Chain A
Amino acid sequence: MTNGGSGWLTRLAEADAGLPDEEAAARVVAAGGADTRRVLDALAAVRTDLAAVPPTRLPASVATRLAAGLDRIDAGETDSSTVTIMEPRRRVRRPLLLTAAAAALVVLVLTGPPSRTPPTDLASAASRAVAEGTRDVGPLADPQNLAACLAAAGAGPPPGPLLAGRPVVVGGREGTLLVLGTGTAGRLRAVVPAAGCTAVLGDLTLGR
Protein backbone atom coordinates (compact mmCIF):
# COMPACT_ATOMS: atom_id res chain seq x y z
CA MET A 1 0.00 0.00 0.00
CA THR A 2 1.31 3.39 -0.93
CA ASN A 3 0.80 6.86 0.45
CA GLY A 4 1.73 6.32 4.06
CA GLY A 5 0.95 2.72 4.93
CA SER A 6 -1.52 1.40 7.45
CA GLY A 7 -1.69 4.61 9.51
CA TRP A 8 -2.78 6.56 6.46
CA LEU A 9 -5.26 3.84 5.56
CA THR A 10 -6.80 3.88 9.00
CA ARG A 11 -7.08 7.67 9.00
CA LEU A 12 -8.72 7.56 5.62
CA ALA A 13 -11.13 4.82 6.68
CA GLU A 14 -12.00 6.79 9.79
CA ALA A 15 -12.60 9.88 7.68
CA ASP A 16 -14.81 7.74 5.45
CA ALA A 17 -16.74 6.80 8.58
CA GLY A 18 -17.15 10.46 9.55
CA LEU A 19 -14.30 10.85 12.03
CA PRO A 20 -13.21 12.96 13.76
CA ASP A 21 -16.24 14.91 12.51
CA GLU A 22 -18.03 15.26 9.21
CA GLU A 23 -16.30 18.51 8.25
CA ALA A 24 -12.79 17.33 8.97
CA ALA A 25 -13.54 14.01 7.35
CA ALA A 26 -14.66 15.76 4.19
CA ARG A 27 -11.39 17.70 4.10
CA VAL A 28 -9.33 14.52 4.42
CA VAL A 29 -11.24 12.86 1.63
CA ALA A 30 -11.10 15.91 -0.63
CA ALA A 31 -7.35 16.28 -0.15
CA GLY A 32 -6.64 12.79 -1.43
CA GLY A 33 -5.55 11.73 -4.88
CA ALA A 34 -5.90 8.57 -6.89
CA ASP A 35 -4.86 6.34 -3.98
CA THR A 36 -7.51 7.92 -1.81
CA ARG A 37 -10.18 7.26 -4.43
CA ARG A 38 -9.08 3.64 -4.74
CA VAL A 39 -9.27 3.10 -0.98
CA LEU A 40 -12.65 4.76 -0.70
CA ASP A 41 -13.94 2.56 -3.51
CA ALA A 42 -12.61 -0.48 -1.69
CA LEU A 43 -14.30 0.54 1.54
CA ALA A 44 -17.54 1.11 -0.33
CA ALA A 45 -17.21 -2.35 -1.85
CA VAL A 46 -16.80 -3.81 1.64
CA ARG A 47 -19.93 -2.09 2.85
CA THR A 48 -21.80 -3.38 -0.19
CA ASP A 49 -20.61 -6.93 0.53
CA LEU A 50 -21.69 -6.68 4.16
CA ALA A 51 -25.08 -5.20 3.33
CA ALA A 52 -25.66 -8.05 0.87
CA VAL A 53 -25.36 -10.73 3.54
CA PRO A 54 -28.80 -12.37 3.50
CA PRO A 55 -30.91 -12.01 6.62
CA THR A 56 -31.03 -14.92 9.01
CA ARG A 57 -33.99 -16.07 11.05
CA LEU A 58 -34.14 -17.71 14.43
CA PRO A 59 -34.07 -21.44 13.61
CA ALA A 60 -36.97 -23.54 14.87
CA SER A 61 -34.58 -25.82 16.74
CA VAL A 62 -33.20 -22.86 18.69
CA ALA A 63 -36.70 -21.54 19.37
CA THR A 64 -37.57 -24.95 20.79
CA ARG A 65 -34.59 -24.81 23.14
CA LEU A 66 -35.51 -21.31 24.23
CA ALA A 67 -39.07 -22.28 25.01
CA ALA A 68 -37.92 -25.31 26.96
CA GLY A 69 -35.41 -23.22 28.90
CA LEU A 70 -38.02 -20.66 29.90
CA ASP A 71 -40.39 -23.46 30.86
CA ARG A 72 -37.68 -24.88 33.12
CA ILE A 73 -37.29 -21.52 34.81
CA ASP A 74 -41.04 -21.31 35.31
CA ALA A 75 -41.13 -24.79 36.75
CA GLY A 76 -38.37 -23.95 39.20
CA GLU A 77 -40.10 -20.79 40.31
CA THR A 78 -43.37 -22.61 40.69
CA ASP A 79 -41.82 -25.34 42.75
CA SER A 80 -40.14 -22.92 45.14
CA SER A 81 -43.05 -20.51 45.42
CA THR A 82 -44.82 -20.30 48.73
CA VAL A 83 -46.91 -17.29 47.78
CA THR A 84 -50.63 -17.85 47.68
CA ILE A 85 -51.92 -17.09 44.25
CA MET A 86 -55.39 -16.38 43.03
CA GLU A 87 -55.85 -19.59 41.13
CA PRO A 88 -54.12 -22.96 41.13
CA ARG A 89 -51.14 -22.41 38.90
CA ARG A 90 -51.21 -24.58 35.84
CA ARG A 91 -48.05 -25.68 34.17
CA VAL A 92 -48.15 -24.23 30.70
CA ARG A 93 -45.68 -25.32 28.13
CA ARG A 94 -44.82 -22.66 25.66
CA PRO A 95 -45.47 -22.87 21.99
CA LEU A 96 -42.42 -22.37 19.85
CA LEU A 97 -41.06 -18.85 20.25
CA LEU A 98 -41.04 -18.14 16.59
CA THR A 99 -41.75 -15.09 14.55
CA ALA A 100 -44.60 -15.56 12.12
CA ALA A 101 -42.25 -15.93 9.20
CA ALA A 102 -40.20 -18.62 10.88
CA ALA A 103 -43.27 -20.39 12.25
CA ALA A 104 -44.41 -21.04 8.72
CA LEU A 105 -41.44 -23.37 8.38
CA VAL A 106 -42.42 -25.65 11.27
CA VAL A 107 -42.94 -29.11 9.86
CA LEU A 108 -46.04 -30.99 10.81
CA VAL A 109 -47.66 -34.17 9.62
CA LEU A 110 -51.29 -34.37 8.70
CA THR A 111 -53.00 -37.38 10.18
CA GLY A 112 -56.40 -38.95 9.76
CA PRO A 113 -58.21 -39.28 6.46
CA PRO A 114 -56.82 -38.83 3.93
CA SER A 115 -54.02 -40.75 5.58
CA ARG A 116 -50.34 -40.99 4.79
CA THR A 117 -50.01 -37.44 3.62
CA PRO A 118 -46.50 -36.03 3.44
CA PRO A 119 -45.05 -33.62 6.00
CA THR A 120 -45.99 -30.03 5.41
CA ASP A 121 -45.91 -26.74 7.27
CA LEU A 122 -48.49 -25.05 9.41
CA ALA A 123 -49.48 -22.42 6.86
CA SER A 124 -49.88 -24.97 4.07
CA ALA A 125 -51.80 -27.37 6.30
CA ALA A 126 -54.17 -24.61 7.35
CA SER A 127 -54.71 -23.45 3.80
CA ARG A 128 -55.37 -26.98 2.69
CA ALA A 129 -57.84 -27.68 5.48
CA VAL A 130 -59.76 -24.55 4.57
CA ALA A 131 -59.71 -25.35 0.86
CA GLU A 132 -60.94 -28.89 1.48
CA GLY A 133 -63.48 -27.80 4.06
CA THR A 134 -62.14 -30.35 6.55
CA ARG A 135 -63.67 -30.07 10.02
CA ASP A 136 -62.41 -33.24 11.64
CA VAL A 137 -61.86 -31.86 15.13
CA GLY A 138 -63.98 -34.17 17.29
CA PRO A 139 -65.40 -32.55 20.42
CA LEU A 140 -63.66 -29.28 19.57
CA ALA A 141 -66.39 -28.68 17.02
CA ASP A 142 -68.43 -27.49 19.99
CA PRO A 143 -67.57 -23.79 20.54
CA GLN A 144 -67.54 -24.15 24.31
CA ASN A 145 -65.18 -27.10 24.17
CA LEU A 146 -62.98 -25.27 21.72
CA ALA A 147 -62.76 -22.17 23.91
CA ALA A 148 -62.02 -24.26 26.98
CA CYS A 149 -59.32 -26.21 25.17
CA LEU A 150 -57.55 -23.10 23.89
CA ALA A 151 -57.70 -21.53 27.33
CA ALA A 152 -56.29 -24.66 28.95
CA ALA A 153 -53.51 -24.86 26.38
CA GLY A 154 -52.59 -21.24 26.98
CA ALA A 155 -53.65 -19.97 23.57
CA GLY A 156 -56.21 -17.47 24.80
CA PRO A 157 -59.79 -17.19 23.61
CA PRO A 158 -60.68 -18.08 20.01
CA PRO A 159 -60.64 -14.91 17.93
CA GLY A 160 -63.47 -16.11 15.73
CA PRO A 161 -65.40 -19.14 14.51
CA LEU A 162 -63.89 -22.47 13.60
CA LEU A 163 -63.46 -22.61 9.84
CA ALA A 164 -61.59 -25.87 9.41
CA GLY A 165 -59.47 -28.35 11.30
CA ARG A 166 -57.99 -31.79 11.42
CA PRO A 167 -55.70 -34.01 13.52
CA VAL A 168 -51.98 -33.37 13.05
CA VAL A 169 -48.65 -34.37 14.53
CA VAL A 170 -46.17 -31.60 15.30
CA GLY A 171 -42.70 -32.57 16.37
CA GLY A 172 -43.90 -36.05 17.24
CA ARG A 173 -46.78 -34.79 19.40
CA GLU A 174 -50.40 -35.28 18.47
CA GLY A 175 -52.66 -32.30 18.30
CA THR A 176 -55.52 -30.74 16.40
CA LEU A 177 -55.04 -28.08 13.79
CA LEU A 178 -57.73 -25.42 14.21
CA VAL A 179 -58.19 -22.72 11.59
CA LEU A 180 -60.15 -19.85 13.08
CA GLY A 181 -61.65 -16.71 11.67
CA THR A 182 -60.48 -13.44 13.11
CA GLY A 183 -63.14 -10.93 12.22
CA THR A 184 -60.73 -9.36 9.75
CA ALA A 185 -61.15 -10.17 6.10
CA GLY A 186 -58.25 -12.15 4.73
CA ARG A 187 -56.77 -12.95 8.12
CA LEU A 188 -56.92 -16.37 9.77
CA ARG A 189 -55.35 -17.88 12.82
CA ALA A 190 -54.03 -21.43 12.74
CA VAL A 191 -53.47 -22.87 16.19
CA VAL A 192 -52.59 -26.42 17.22
CA PRO A 193 -53.48 -27.41 20.79
CA ALA A 194 -51.83 -30.65 21.87
CA ALA A 195 -53.92 -33.69 22.63
CA GLY A 196 -55.53 -33.10 26.01
CA CYS A 197 -55.14 -29.34 25.50
CA THR A 198 -51.95 -29.35 27.58
CA ALA A 199 -49.89 -27.10 25.32
CA VAL A 200 -49.86 -25.14 22.10
CA LEU A 201 -47.84 -26.92 19.43
CA GLY A 202 -48.16 -24.23 16.80
CA ASP A 203 -49.74 -20.80 16.47
CA LEU A 204 -49.66 -18.72 13.34
CA THR A 205 -51.57 -15.78 11.93
CA LEU A 206 -52.15 -16.04 8.23
CA GLY A 207 -52.98 -13.30 5.81
CA ARG A 208 -52.93 -9.59 6.35
Chain B
Amino acid sequence: MPLVDLRSDSELVAAHRAGERRAFDELVRRHGDRLWALAYRTLRDPEDAADVLQEALEAAYRRVGSFRGDAAVSTWLHRIVVNKCLDRVRHDRARPPSAAGRTHRDPVVLDPTEDATDRLAVLDALARLPVEQRLAIVLVDVEGYPVAEAAAILEVPSGTVKSRCARGRVRLAGLLGHLRADA
Protein backbone atom coordinates (compact mmCIF):
# COMPACT_ATOMS: atom_id res chain seq x y z
CA MET B 1 0.00 0.00 0.00
CA PRO B 2 1.56 3.31 -0.98
CA LEU B 3 1.98 5.96 1.67
CA VAL B 4 -0.29 8.38 -0.08
CA ASP B 5 -2.95 6.68 -2.11
CA LEU B 6 -2.91 8.49 -5.43
CA ARG B 7 -5.76 6.54 -6.96
CA SER B 8 -8.87 8.45 -7.98
CA ASP B 9 -12.14 7.89 -6.16
CA SER B 10 -13.41 5.87 -9.10
CA GLU B 11 -10.33 3.70 -9.00
CA LEU B 12 -10.89 3.11 -5.30
CA VAL B 13 -14.45 2.03 -6.00
CA ALA B 14 -13.14 -0.40 -8.61
CA ALA B 15 -10.58 -1.70 -6.13
CA HIS B 16 -13.32 -2.20 -3.56
CA ARG B 17 -15.31 -4.22 -6.07
CA ALA B 18 -12.21 -6.30 -6.68
CA GLY B 19 -12.13 -7.17 -2.99
CA GLU B 20 -9.71 -4.62 -1.60
CA ARG B 21 -11.44 -3.70 1.59
CA ARG B 22 -9.06 -0.90 2.47
CA ALA B 23 -10.08 0.95 -0.68
CA PHE B 24 -13.34 2.05 0.94
CA ASP B 25 -11.41 3.06 4.06
CA GLU B 26 -9.39 5.42 1.89
CA LEU B 27 -12.61 6.96 0.57
CA VAL B 28 -13.74 7.55 4.13
CA ARG B 29 -10.41 9.10 5.05
CA ARG B 30 -10.59 11.29 1.97
CA HIS B 31 -14.16 12.53 2.42
CA GLY B 32 -14.88 11.84 6.08
CA ASP B 33 -14.30 15.35 7.35
CA ARG B 34 -16.61 16.93 4.77
CA LEU B 35 -19.30 14.30 5.24
CA TRP B 36 -19.10 14.78 8.98
CA ALA B 37 -19.31 18.55 8.58
CA LEU B 38 -22.42 18.20 6.43
CA ALA B 39 -24.15 15.92 8.93
CA TYR B 40 -23.08 17.86 12.00
CA ARG B 41 -23.87 21.32 10.64
CA THR B 42 -27.24 20.10 9.40
CA LEU B 43 -28.35 18.18 12.46
CA ARG B 44 -26.53 20.29 15.07
CA ASP B 45 -26.47 17.39 17.53
CA PRO B 46 -23.18 15.45 17.45
CA GLU B 47 -24.85 12.20 18.50
CA ASP B 48 -27.41 12.47 15.74
CA ALA B 49 -24.70 13.40 13.27
CA ALA B 50 -22.59 10.41 14.32
CA ASP B 51 -25.54 8.05 13.96
CA VAL B 52 -26.45 9.44 10.56
CA LEU B 53 -22.89 9.32 9.27
CA GLN B 54 -22.54 5.73 10.40
CA GLU B 55 -25.82 4.72 8.77
CA ALA B 56 -24.83 6.51 5.58
CA LEU B 57 -21.36 5.06 5.28
CA GLU B 58 -22.49 1.57 6.15
CA ALA B 59 -25.17 1.88 3.47
CA ALA B 60 -22.56 3.15 1.02
CA TYR B 61 -20.23 0.30 1.94
CA ARG B 62 -22.94 -2.25 1.24
CA ARG B 63 -24.00 -0.59 -2.02
CA VAL B 64 -20.72 0.61 -3.46
CA GLY B 65 -20.53 -2.50 -5.60
CA SER B 66 -23.59 -1.33 -7.49
CA PHE B 67 -22.43 2.29 -7.82
CA ARG B 68 -22.96 3.09 -11.50
CA GLY B 69 -20.79 6.12 -11.83
CA ASP B 70 -23.51 8.50 -13.02
CA ALA B 71 -22.21 11.02 -10.47
CA ALA B 72 -18.88 11.64 -8.86
CA VAL B 73 -18.14 9.29 -5.97
CA SER B 74 -17.99 12.22 -3.57
CA THR B 75 -21.37 13.48 -4.78
CA TRP B 76 -22.83 10.01 -4.32
CA LEU B 77 -21.49 9.80 -0.76
CA HIS B 78 -22.81 13.26 0.05
CA ARG B 79 -26.24 12.34 -1.34
CA ILE B 80 -26.46 9.38 0.97
CA VAL B 81 -25.59 11.56 3.95
CA VAL B 82 -28.14 14.17 2.86
CA ASN B 83 -30.89 11.57 2.56
CA LYS B 84 -30.04 10.11 5.95
CA CYS B 85 -30.16 13.61 7.44
CA LEU B 86 -33.58 14.20 5.91
CA ASP B 87 -34.78 10.85 7.21
CA ARG B 88 -33.53 11.73 10.67
CA VAL B 89 -35.18 15.16 10.73
CA ARG B 90 -38.49 13.84 9.41
CA HIS B 91 -38.42 10.92 11.80
CA ASP B 92 -37.74 13.23 14.74
CA ARG B 93 -40.60 15.47 13.65
CA ALA B 94 -42.99 12.53 13.62
CA ARG B 95 -41.75 11.08 16.87
CA PRO B 96 -43.45 12.21 20.09
CA PRO B 97 -40.98 13.68 22.58
CA SER B 98 -41.69 10.90 25.07
CA ALA B 99 -40.50 8.37 22.54
CA ALA B 100 -37.19 10.14 22.12
CA GLY B 101 -34.08 8.28 23.03
CA ARG B 102 -31.35 6.42 21.33
CA THR B 103 -29.35 3.37 22.04
CA HIS B 104 -26.81 4.19 24.69
CA ARG B 105 -23.34 4.73 23.34
CA ASP B 106 -20.23 6.49 24.40
CA PRO B 107 -20.76 10.19 23.84
CA VAL B 108 -19.18 11.81 20.83
CA VAL B 109 -16.12 13.73 21.94
CA LEU B 110 -15.54 16.78 19.79
CA ASP B 111 -12.27 18.57 19.34
CA PRO B 112 -11.86 21.28 21.99
CA THR B 113 -12.40 23.98 19.39
CA GLU B 114 -15.82 22.51 18.64
CA ASP B 115 -17.11 23.46 22.05
CA ALA B 116 -16.47 27.10 21.30
CA THR B 117 -17.87 26.68 17.82
CA ASP B 118 -21.01 25.17 19.27
CA ARG B 119 -21.83 28.36 21.05
CA LEU B 120 -21.81 30.46 17.94
CA ALA B 121 -25.11 32.19 17.45
CA VAL B 122 -24.93 31.57 13.75
CA LEU B 123 -25.17 27.81 14.25
CA ASP B 124 -28.08 28.18 16.61
CA ALA B 125 -29.82 30.34 14.04
CA LEU B 126 -29.00 27.89 11.27
CA ALA B 127 -30.66 25.12 13.23
CA ARG B 128 -33.93 27.05 13.13
CA LEU B 129 -34.22 26.98 9.35
CA PRO B 130 -36.30 24.38 7.52
CA VAL B 131 -34.00 21.46 6.81
CA GLU B 132 -34.07 21.96 3.03
CA GLN B 133 -32.85 25.55 3.41
CA ARG B 134 -30.35 24.46 6.05
CA LEU B 135 -28.81 21.86 3.78
CA ALA B 136 -28.45 24.32 0.92
CA ILE B 137 -26.86 26.94 3.14
CA VAL B 138 -24.54 24.46 4.86
CA LEU B 139 -23.29 23.26 1.48
CA VAL B 140 -22.98 26.63 -0.24
CA ASP B 141 -22.34 29.23 2.44
CA VAL B 142 -20.68 27.21 5.22
CA GLU B 143 -18.79 24.50 3.36
CA GLY B 144 -18.24 26.54 0.20
CA TYR B 145 -19.49 24.12 -2.45
CA PRO B 146 -20.30 25.67 -5.84
CA VAL B 147 -24.05 25.95 -6.41
CA ALA B 148 -23.87 23.39 -9.23
CA GLU B 149 -22.19 20.84 -6.98
CA ALA B 150 -24.67 21.49 -4.17
CA ALA B 151 -27.47 21.01 -6.69
CA ALA B 152 -26.00 17.67 -7.76
CA ILE B 153 -25.73 16.56 -4.15
CA LEU B 154 -29.26 17.65 -3.30
CA GLU B 155 -30.61 16.37 -6.63
CA VAL B 156 -32.46 19.60 -7.39
CA PRO B 157 -31.92 22.31 -10.05
CA SER B 158 -29.36 25.02 -9.36
CA GLY B 159 -32.16 27.57 -9.22
CA THR B 160 -33.74 25.68 -6.36
CA VAL B 161 -30.49 25.76 -4.42
CA LYS B 162 -30.20 29.51 -5.00
CA SER B 163 -33.79 30.05 -3.92
CA ARG B 164 -33.37 27.98 -0.77
CA CYS B 165 -30.18 29.84 0.07
CA ALA B 166 -31.86 33.19 -0.54
CA ARG B 167 -34.82 32.42 1.67
CA GLY B 168 -32.59 30.98 4.35
CA ARG B 169 -30.33 34.03 4.32
CA VAL B 170 -33.32 36.35 4.79
CA ARG B 171 -34.41 34.35 7.80
CA LEU B 172 -30.88 34.30 9.18
CA ALA B 173 -30.51 38.03 8.65
CA GLY B 174 -33.43 38.52 10.99
CA LEU B 175 -32.32 35.93 13.52
CA LEU B 176 -28.78 37.29 13.66
CA GLY B 177 -29.90 40.90 13.96
CA HIS B 178 -28.63 42.10 10.61
CA LEU B 179 -32.19 43.00 9.61
CA ARG B 180 -34.66 44.40 12.08
CA ALA B 181 -38.37 43.95 11.51
CA ASP B 182 -39.15 47.50 12.59
CA ALA B 183 -36.49 49.09 10.43
Does residue A24 face the partner (Cβ distance < 8 Å to B)? no
Q: Count chain B CB atoms within 10 A of each CB in A74, A102, A157 and give the residue with the most.
A: A102
Shortest beta-carbon distance, B4 to chain A, in Å? 7
Asked if residues B53 and A98 are in contact (CB atoms below 8 Å), the reply is no
Asked if residues B25 and A54 are in contact (CB atoms below 8 Å), the reply is no
In the bound complex, residues from chain B placing their C-beta under 8 Å from that of A184 are: 3
Does residue B57 face the partner (Cβ distance < 8 Å to A)? yes
Stretch at the interface among A38-46, A115-123, A133-141, A161-169: A38-46
Does residue A148 face the partner (Cβ distance < 8 Å to B)? no
In the bound complex, residues from chain B placing their C-beta under 8 Å from that of A42 are: 173, 178-179
Asked if residues B117 and A19 are in contact (CB atoms below 8 Å), the reply is no
Does residue B113 face the partner (Cβ distance < 8 Å to A)? yes
Q: Count chain A CB atoms within 10 A of each CB in B33, B35, B40 and give the residue with the most.
A: B33
Q: How many residue pairs at the A-B interface have CB separations less than 8 Å? A: 165
Asked if residues B28 and A97 are in contact (CB atoms below 8 Å), the reply is yes
Asked if residues A1 and B179 are in contact (CB atoms below 8 Å), the reply is yes
Q: Which residue of A lies closest to B109 (CB)?
A: A61
Given contacts A47-B169, A66-B53, contact A58 B33 (CB under 8 A): yes
In the bound complex, residues from chain A placing their C-beta under 8 Å from that of B144 are: 51
Interface size, A (range): 35 or more
In the bound complex, residues from chain B placing their C-beta under 8 Å from that of A159 are: 2-3
Given contacts A53-B122, A59-B109, A60-B109, contact A70 B173 (CB under 8 A): no
Shortest beta-carbon distance, B121 to chain A, in Å? 8
Asked if residues B109 and A66 are in contact (CB atoms below 8 Å), the reply is no
Shortest beta-carbon distance, A158 to chain B, in Å? 11
Asked if residues B29 and A99 are in contact (CB atoms below 8 Å), the reply is yes
Does residue B82 face the partner (Cβ distance < 8 Å to A)? no
Asked if residues A73 and B33 are in contact (CB atoms below 8 Å), the reply is no
Does residue A195 face the partner (Cβ distance < 8 Å to B)? no
Does residue B181 face the partner (Cβ distance < 8 Å to A)? yes
Given contacts A9-B170, A94-B25, contact A56 B37 (CB under 8 A): yes
5 pairs, CB–CB < 8 Å, chain A vs chain B: A47-B169, A59-B110, A62-B36, A97-B25, A154-B22
State the A residues within 8 Å of B (CB).
1-2, 6, 9-10, 13-14, 16-20, 38-39, 41-43, 45-47, 49-63, 65-67, 69-70, 73-74, 92, 94-95, 97-102, 105, 154-157, 159, 182, 184, 187, 189, 205
